Amino acid sequence: MPVVMVCTGAVRNRPVRPIRCCLKPYVIASSVPSGNNAGVHESENIQNKLCMQALAAEADGRLRSAIADYRRAIACDSQNPTPYLYLGYALEKQRDYEAATQVYSLAADLDGRVVDAWRSTGSSVEVAERSQSADRALRRHFTGLHTRSVREFHQRNPAMELDRIYAAVWCATHDKPFEYGDPRHQPQLFYVPDLAPTSVFDDQQMPWKPGLEGAFEAIRDEFLAIGSRAQEHEGPYLGVVPADLGEEWQPISASLNWSSLFLYRNATANQDILELVPRTREAMKQVPTVKVGGNPTEILFSILKGKQRIPPHYGLANTATTVHLPLVISEEAALRVTDTVHEWREGEVFAFDDSFEHESWNHGAATRVNLLFEVWHPDLTENECGAIAAAFEARTAWNQSRKI
């Protein structure tokens, strides 16, 4: 599914970050160091002073003045999530709940820990109070948004059976406790509890498979023919992976050791690449890819260099099936999904639910290249797929409407 969490800047298959609570504190520097960093420190100094000024105004009940100063503080350093958190709290005090929720969400974009800090004994009372308020506001908002979006879709045809989708869980922002049915199966974004848990899918569940495999050579040849023209579009599959997730992630953190060349990303077409692969486009027309707004959410060439490993992790949703068509294989290149180890074979489709624990490796010397995309879970009905897409579109639209 497209990546639309509390934040919008997450990376698909992003490793799960442990909960930490070290929000950037306000500390007024005693001096501004000289040199190239002087401007940065001066900006931090101004931001801290504005925040302290805003806190004083908030304590005196001068909410408008506090809100104005928090906004000025954010303008000094828009990457520090803490002023957003304080601004959201002040807006809540003013009973501007929609604006508060938008700002809380923007804070969580910058650092998801802002909604977890209240759970830590190491957080100050001041931070914990605001963090818990942000957590409640986001859970209330996003759970309600899901229900409303499914209900609006349902109104088109009240006879549709959508109970499973009404009961779906947005894992990071659900307003009630929930448990996964299998400890090895933990979708990180979106979870339909009543959907059959299938880790690896068989041929009977993929009637489009023979047609795609029949186009394997054409797809492979088009990829190989792209050559140097793809360099400006190829990039790391992952962004910077936080060091606290472990050293095992660092070789593929913001690195071309694991890279991607997107035909579609977040339902947006890469026309420059699509023009170079007409036969790939034609072959994919027969495949029931997950779509949002009429476009496939994601189709890419996944490129893993030799001697690289993608550590165990969970994907985002159990409503999509991740599909690989190996184009260029390497010796000792494989994928593990729970207890199943699958060695790549050129031209042979492999489909699995990536919200089960999985990992991949390429122990050989050569680079391996797979065409990668998503189709709907085969047990979902067409109406259920439509309702899920509507829920994702509503969430995306709200995220895009946010402002400080």
> What Rg value do the Cα atoms of the chain yield, rounded?
23
The pLDDT value recorded for residue 232 is 83
What does the pLDDT average to over 186-210?
95
229 pLDDT band, cuts 50/70/90, is: confident
At residue 355 the predicted structure's pLDDT band, cuts being 50, 70 and 90, is very high
Is the residue at 7 inside a domain?
Answer: yes
The mean pLDDT value for 155-173 works out to 97
Distance of CA 395 to the CA centre of its chain: 13
Query: pLDDT tens digits for 256-297?
Result: 999 999 999 999 999 999 999 999 999 999 999 999 888 999
The rounded distance, in Å, linking the Cα atoms of 129 and 107 is 15
CA 78 – CA 13 distance, rounded (Å):
26
- Whether 217 and 309 map to the same domain: the answer is yes
Task: Compute the average pLDDT of residues 352-361.
Answer: 97
For residue 71, being part of any structural domain is answered with no
Residue type, 320: A
Structure tokens belonging to residue 157: 């045809």
Specify the number of domains making up the chain: 2
> Do 152 and 226 fall into the same domain?
no
Kindly state the percentage of the chain with pLDDT values over 90.
Answer: 82
CA trace torsion 393, 394, 400, 403 (10° rounding): -170
Do 120 and 236 belong together in one domain?
no
Label residue 227 by pLDDT band (50, 70, 90): confident
* 223 and 372 housed in the same domain: yes
Question: Per the structure block, which two tokens stand in for 98?
Answer: 């929609």
State mean pLDDT over 2-20.
34
Determine which of 51-65, 147-161, 221-235, 390-404 has the lowest per-residue pLDDT on average: 221-235
Do 240 and 140 lie in one domain? The reply is no
Residues 126 and 260 in one domain: no
* Domain presence at residue 70: no
User: Contact 316/188 with Cβ under 8 angstroms?
Assistant: yes
pLDDT confidence bin for 5, thresholds 50/70/90: very low
* 386: nearest Cα among 55, 157, 134: 157
What per-residue confidence (pLDDT) applies to 41? 72
The half-sphere exposure of 137 on its side-chain side, counting CA atoms within 13 A, is: 28
At residue 170, the pLDDT reads 98
Average pLDDT over residues 51-66: 96
**Confidence grade of residue 7 (pLDDT, cut at 50, 70, 90):** very low
- Residue 47 forms part of a structural domain: no
pLDDT in tens, 20-53: 223 333 322 222 233 445 556 777 889 999 999 9
What pLDDT shows up at residue 38? Answer: 52
CATH number of the CATH domain containing 298: 2.60.120.330
**Does one domain contain both 370 and 385?**
no
Query: In the prediction, which pLDDT does 42 show?
Result: 77
Average pLDDT of span 161-178: 97
Both 213 and 290 in a single domain?
yes
**Sorting pLDDT into bands at 50, 70 and 90, what band is 181?**
confident
The domain in which residue 286 lies consists of 203-376
For residue 6, the model assigns a pLDDT of 33
* Of 112 and 1, more confident: 112
* Same domain, residue pair 117 and 208: no
For 16-83, give the secondary structure using H, E and C: CCCCCCCCCCCCCCCCCCCCCCHHHHHHHHHHHHHHHHHHHHHHCCCHHHHHHHHHHHHHHCCCCHHH
Per-residue model confidence (pLDDT) at position 33: 33
- Give the model's pLDDT for residue 40: 60
306 belongs to a structural domain: yes
Residue 49 in any domain: the answer is no
Determine the distance from the C-alpha atom of residue 12 to the mean position of all C-alpha atoms in its chain, rounded to a whole number. Answer: 5
Q: Per the domain annotation, does 61 fall within a domain? A: no
**Mean pLDDT across 131-140:** 98
**243 shares a domain with 150:** no
Phi, psi at 130, each rounded to 5°: -75, -40
Please indicate, yes or no, whether residues 239 and 106 belong to a single structural domain of this protein: no
Mean pLDDT of the chain, nearest integer: 89
Q: Do 279 and 319 have their domain in common?
A: yes
